[in-house]
Structure 1
Amino acid sequence: MRAQLHTDWRNIPPEARGAVAALGNFDGVHLGHAHLVHTLHQTRPEAPLAVVTFEPHPRELFRPQDPPFRLTLSEERFSALSALGVQHIFQLQFDDAFSEMPAERFIDDVLQGAFDLKHIACGHDFAFGHRRGGNTDFLAERATELGMGFTLVPAFCDAGGPYSSSRIRRLLQDGYPERAASELGRPWSIRGVVQHGDKRGRLLGFPTANVSLGRHLEPARGVYATTVRTSDGSAHFGVANIGRRPTINDGSESRLEVNLFDFEGDLYGQTISVALHSLLRGEKKFESLDALKAQIGRDAEQARTLLTA
């Protein structure tokens, strides 16, 4: 079942009101987020299950100079939350005006007035309202006054501590997509529109689909074994390069270029999702295009062997 996405909190259809909702940014929708959602559902299994989240991530508004850091953009997050059984996703537009909403008004006007939530749940670090003026103690107190149930869900932990988006970002930046996948509950994916490139991959014998990283986190630069899901839902093994292509002096912007094995077709303009499985090698400058072409061939064979094992 796909969730229903609601982006205008002032215009919520009657059938979406009266749910129970988990609150948070849900960047990555990792195992800790899944624990929060499942705990809420177990608390109120008879009620429709919802999530209240924000777009863009508040950090993108308050610290626009920061490098891109998102694990999941809106579409990928929607898919991951749907897979958890969430029925309604209330995605609040986080702009300057919304950021100035006082904490009490957020509870009264949005959570109760607009959504008519019957029960809410969040983690211990959830903060909200103008200048993060509301914390979980305030949320619990005000929810009780309004007749809403409230559950503070303890952090979900392993031997390394609580699962968190920050921890997963570090794993990806350090080149460990397998470990990131174990904390996400699925391989980490970059979703984007296939753009026209310089066709250099085709000249080297390995045509690629080019996707801008955009607001996604940039993982460790190098070559990855991947699975690519195209817009028709089909999946294809492949090998991808993420980086600045130093052999051909491609400039300062990193990009994702993925070669789909045994694929023929035109992907330009389509949205694809590229899941990273394993970092095969780091970014490297080669002495010639022939040396680069030979290495790409070895990379493709290694990726194919790993993916079919």
Structure 2
Amino acid sequence: MQIKSSLDNLLTPTAIALGNFDGIHRGHLEVIKPVLDWEDPSVYKTVVTFDPHPQEYFTGQQRQLLTPQQEKAKILEKLGIQQLVLLPFDRELVKLSPPEFVDRILHDRLQSKLVSVGEDFRFGNQRAGAATDLVDLTAAIGIATRIAPLEIDGDSRISSSRIRAALLAADLKLTQELLGRYYSIFGTVINGQEIGRSIGFPTANLQYPAEKFLPRQGVYCVRVDTPTQQQLPGVMNIGKRPTVNGVNTTVEIHLLDWEGILYGQQLTIYLHQFLRSEQKFPDLAALTSQIQADCDAARIFFQI
């Protein structure tokens, strides 16, 4: 999949899904579906999102994301998207009126044949344009527009904010229902203090994007994809490691019944079950005993 960080050298013409798509949840998938279903092989199946996130641009504060750029790209590529365009959300873009956005961005630069958006999509200066306005403006210049209705789960719409709340509550069942998949953390294994190795439970210390939204701190049953192996069972701890006077939040994974070197490798961690909150133990012996209990609980959960 091609990733473009500007409007130069795009693969055109395009069928595009347009939005922020943080999380790529079930609601987002409904927006992307018309693009994936587009049958003209000469048209590139494209997702157009904004960089930085509009809320980050207006507030000046870094936004914690369910799917940072690299993770979003991996998910979209698996879906069958051919091109991800990170539309620079800057002063020039913000000033465009709805008609200017359609003419200059969608028509001239992206050469769109199809545009798909969610029912609540807004665009143009002061968010003046609604999804229905997009239908009228694009129809006038021969671009088809599809509006995906809001996706409902239970009594409420599926949204990134609901997913964040579920993750902070460690409600992984609800998280999975809203996403349509397990929540994941993607990162690279770096050197740690090797305390786990010294007590018989070697861990992979994961360097994850600074903007990645982390769930409630604690211990989880996880499955892990390495570059060469898939769905390895393990136990993950997210927290500050109070027993050893840790300060910074870390993500550490112990793979069950596995040996090898993971330094420098990229891992994808899938969260399956929350086991317990992080706690401080009186000494390493008590910590070791609890880690053994966590591993035993994970084996029961995964039936291994």
TM normalised by structure 1 equals 0.89
CA distance in 2, matches of 1:264, 1:193: 18
Aligned counterpart, 2:103: 108
Confirm or deny: 8 A CA contact 1:21 1:52 kept in the other structure: yes
Query: Which amino acid in the other structure matches residue 245 of structure 1?
Result: R
Check 1:93–1:267 CA distance in 2 against 1; reply closer, same or farther (3 A cut): farther
CA distance in 2, matches of 1:177, 1:65: 27
CA distance in 1, matches of 2:91, 2:205: 33
Match of 1:246 among 242, 263, 284: 242
SS at match of 1:120: strand
Q: Using the aligned pairs only, state the percent identity.
A: 36
CA distance in 2, matches of 1:255, 1:136: 41
CA distance in 2, matches of 1:286, 1:234: 33
Check 1:58–1:228 CA distance in 2 against 1; reply closer, same or farther (3 A cut): same
Q: Tell me how far 1:234 sits from its aligned partner.
A: 3.4
SS at match of 1:17: coil
Confirm or deny: 8 A CA contact 1:22 1:36 kept in the other structure: yes
Q: Is 1:179 matched with 2:174?
A: yes
Confirm or deny: 8 A CA contact 2:31 2:147 kept in the other structure: no
Match of 2:59 among 45, 54, 63: 63
Query: Which amino acid in the other structure matches residue 139 of structure 2?
Result: T
Q: Is 1:158 matched with 2:144?
A: no
Once the two structures are overlaid, the 10-residue window that deviates more, 131-140 or 17-26, is 131-140
SS at match of 2:224: strand
Q: Tell me how far 1:39 sits from its aligned partner.
A: 4.2
Q: Tell me how far 1:150 sits from its aligned partner.
A: 1.3
Q: Tell me how far 1:71 sits from its aligned partner.
A: 0.8
Q: Is 1:215 matched with 2:215?
A: no
SS at match of 1:267: coil
Query: Which amino acid in the other structure matches residue 9 of structure 1?
Result: L
Match of 2:48 among 46, 52, 56: 52
CA distance in 2, matches of 1:57, 1:141: 26
Q: How many corresponding residue pairs?
A: 301
Query: Which amino acid in the other structure matches residue 139 of structure 1?
Result: L
Check 1:150–1:6 CA distance in 2 against 1; reply closer, same or farther (3 A cut): same
Match of 1:303 among 277, 298, 303: 298
RMSD: 2.1
Q: Is 1:139 matched with 2:137?
A: no
Check 1:130–1:211 CA distance in 2 against 1; reply closer, same or farther (3 A cut): farther
Check 1:61–1:192 CA distance in 2 against 1; reply closer, same or farther (3 A cut): farther
CA distance in 2, matches of 1:178, 1:119: 35
Q: Tell me how far 1:207 sits from its aligned partner.
A: 1.1
Confirm or deny: 8 A CA contact 1:242 1:256 kept in the other structure: yes
Once the two structures are overlaid, the 10-residue window that deviates more, 197-206 or 92-101, is 92-101
Structure-to-structure mapping, 1:220-299, within 5 angstroms: 220-251=216-247, 253-299=248-294
TM normalised by structure 2 equals 0.90
Confirm or deny: 8 A CA contact 1:18 1:117 kept in the other structure: yes
Query: Which amino acid in the other structure matches residue 18 of structure 1?
Result: P
CA distance in 2, matches of 1:275, 1:225: 9
Q: Tell me how far 1:162 sits from its aligned partner.
A: 1.6
Query: Which amino acid in the other structure matches residue 133 of structure 2?
Result: F
CA distance in 1, matches of 2:97, 2:198: 57
Aligned counterpart, 1:9: 7
Confirm or deny: 8 A CA contact 1:40 1:151 kept in the other structure: no
CA distance in 2, matches of 1:140, 1:10: 26
Deviations 1:33-91 (A, max 9, x none): 1122224555x44454322112332223333436x521111122122222333233222
CA distance in 1, matches of 2:126, 2:205: 39
Confirm or deny: 8 A CA contact 2:189 2:205 kept in the other structure: yes
Q: Tell me how far 1:194 sits from its aligned partner.
A: 1.4
Deviations 1:83-111 (A, max 9, x none): 33323322223345544444433322221
Structure-to-structure mapping, 1:23-42, within 5 angstroms: 23-42=18-37
SS at match of 2:50: strand
Confirm or deny: 8 A CA contact 2:36 2:81 kept in the other structure: no
Once the two structures are overlaid, the 10-residue window that deviates more, 76-85 or 268-277, is 76-85
CA distance in 2, matches of 1:198, 1:243: 15
CA distance in 1, matches of 2:204, 2:258: 11
Aligned counterpart, 2:198: 203
CA distance in 2, matches of 1:96, 1:198: 44
